[in-house]
Chain A
Amino acid sequence: MKEIHVAQIIDAVEDICIKAACDLDRDVEECIRKWQAKEESEFGRYIFEQILENIDYARRENIAICQDTGVAVVFLEIGQDVHIVGGNLREAIDEGVRRGYRNGYLRNSLVDDPVFRRKNTGDNTPAVVHAEIVPGDKLKIMVLPKGGGSENMGTLKMLRPSDGIQGIKDFVLKTVMEAGGNPCPPVIVGVGIGGTMEMTTLLAKKALARKIGQPHRDPDYARLEQELLVEINRTGIGPQGLGGRVTALAVHIEHYPTHITSLPVAVNLNCHASRHAEAVL
């Protein structure tokens, strides 16, 4: 049994909150650069230039890439041979988020009650935490700060199995088209398919955490990702919705077995500033 003290967890979460918000993952930056060359529209090219300059400036100044530093969505993979000592895991995550957002000069973007009070919590807590028990003696923590502009454009539909591949494509396309410029295209499109209602939305979120542009391990799903990407980039929405060839940088699908009656599909969009960072203890 390996012991991990909550103090280590607090430090790690603080660190990755700031890193995710200010220092864009190099794979995402490379992907943006790759697509820049394919954009034909004049505004589209101008927007790509500005996005890349912004990434560079934010990294140099260690300031937020985007002012919407989001809800801190935290994925935990807890090794079954890990023993957490010195306090409460959930509180440690929130303390790390609190310190990260304060010390990184990141925006507090949460309200305490969604309907009646809507008062800012003042420290960007609580985090949204998804935990999974896995074999081994490590604790992997990933933070995916999720902005509201793209999150608000997400959709879920319980399709009929007879709707099939075309039904899935139509639903994803409709989501992207209705979102237009709102989620800050060029976007990354996370698609969850299968499982149950709540699981398919989680799969869509997890799909956003995959290394950008890495095709699905199953060739059938990889082909579906590619076909969706081509069709999305024919919509003309383009960078920021002002028209162009590049509406999406990648489509990532995650799937899971489902009920004999079901074909749940969820779409979770992410903006071009696809932020995430991780630590392994």
Chain B
Amino acid sequence: MAGVKKIRTPLTTEMVEQLTAGDRVAITGIIYTARDAAHKRLVQAFEEGKSLPVDITGQVVYYVGPCPPKPGKALGSCGPTTSFRMDAYAPTLLDLGLKGMIGKGQRSDEVIKSMVKNKAVYFAAIGGAAAIISRSVKTAEVVAYEDLGPEAIYRLEVEDFPCIVVTDAQGNDLYKTGVEKYRVK
């Protein structure tokens, strides 16, 4: 765990290729929230040949359903949700140009294969550190599926949002290597 790499969204293939599993990063720029219900609708829209409510090319999606903000705050507590529930949808979005995902927990082999093919990166935020994560959110605005409440798509402007690269575009996976290192045989 070396120093923290500062990165700015949207991401390009060149930027993604410079990230390695085990890097700590601080993300600045725009990211979009989406979780189960929004993913279902996005993929459904694509399959029906409709345009998506957000252009995801080069973008980073954050798997989160935030708490409502207290007066004077941009957003309430907003830590990551478990990513594997989005595994069924992620390869479609990656094929459409999505470059980064933020969540927690291991991804399926299909998602990792799709990340290698599409040159994308998966970041982990710390589950349960939701209050301090909210400090990185400067503005928040619902841009699609408002009826889903906390599951709507928000456009977040973030500054130095703290993450760890857990799966890189070469398919290296910190969940596997990290656990292997500390397993007592």
> Contact residues of A with B, CB < 8 Å?
40-43, 46-47, 50-51, 53-54, 57-58, 61, 63-69, 105-109, 118, 120, 122, 148-149, 152, 180-182, 184, 234-238, 240-245, 271-273
Contacts and interface: CB of A to CB of B under 8 A. Distances in A.
Interface string B1-29: 10000000000000000000000100000
Given A57-B132, A67-B77, 13 more contacts: A54-B126, A63-B70, A65-B130, A66-B79, A66-B128, A67-B79, A106-B67, A109-B150, A120-B148, A181-B105, A236-B184, A237-B179, A242-B179
Given A65-B77, A67-B64, A120-B151, A54 B131 contact: yes
B175 interface: yes
A53 B37 CA distance: 31
Contacts of B136: none
A54 B129 contact: yes
11 contacts: A43-B164, A54-B128, A54-B130, A54-B131, A57-B131, A181-B124, A235-B179, A238-B178, A238-B182, A242-B164, A245-B182
B78 interface: yes
B175 A108 contact: no
A205 to B, nearest CB: 19
Task: Count chain A CB atoms within 10 A of each CB in B65, B130, B175 and give the residue with the most.
Answer: B130
A57 B175 CA distance: 28
B183 interface: yes
A244 B131 contact: no
Task: Count chain B CB atoms within 10 A of each CB in A68, A118, A184 and give the residue with the most.
Answer: A68
A241 B76 contact: no
B134 interface: yes
Contacts of B53: none
A189 B69 CA distance: 32
A117 to B, nearest CB: 11
A236 B179 contact: yes
A107 B104 CA distance: 19
A63 B124 contact: no
Contact of B1 (A46, A181, A234, A240): A46
A63 to B, nearest CB: 5
B131 A63 contact: yes
Interface in B94-130: 104-106, 124, 126-130
Interface of A is mostly: loop
Given A67-B76, A184-B128, A149 B81 contact: yes
A64 B77 contact: yes
B131 A241 contact: no
Contacts, number: 163
A96 B33 CA distance: 30
6 smallest A-B Cβ distances: which pairs? A243-B178, A236-B183, A236-B182, A234-B184, A184-B127, A58-B131
B126 A47 contact: yes
Interface string B144-156: 0000111100000
Given A118-B37, A241-B179, A243-B177, A180 B82 contact: no
Contacts of B67: 63-64, 67, 69, 105-107
B128 A65 contact: yes
Contacts of A41: 178, 181-182
B84 interface: yes
A212 to B, nearest CB: 15
Contacts of B180: 236, 243
A162 B57 CA distance: 57
B174 A242 contact: yes
B64 to A, nearest CB: 7
A182 B124 CA distance: 11
A51 B126 CA distance: 8
A180 B107 CA distance: 11
A68 B174 CA distance: 25
Contacts of B175: 180-181, 241-242
A253 B174 CA distance: 32
Nearest to A271: B128
B66 interface: yes
A149 B82 contact: yes
A107 B178 CA distance: 32
Contacts of B128: 51, 54, 65-66, 184, 271-273
B130 A64 contact: yes
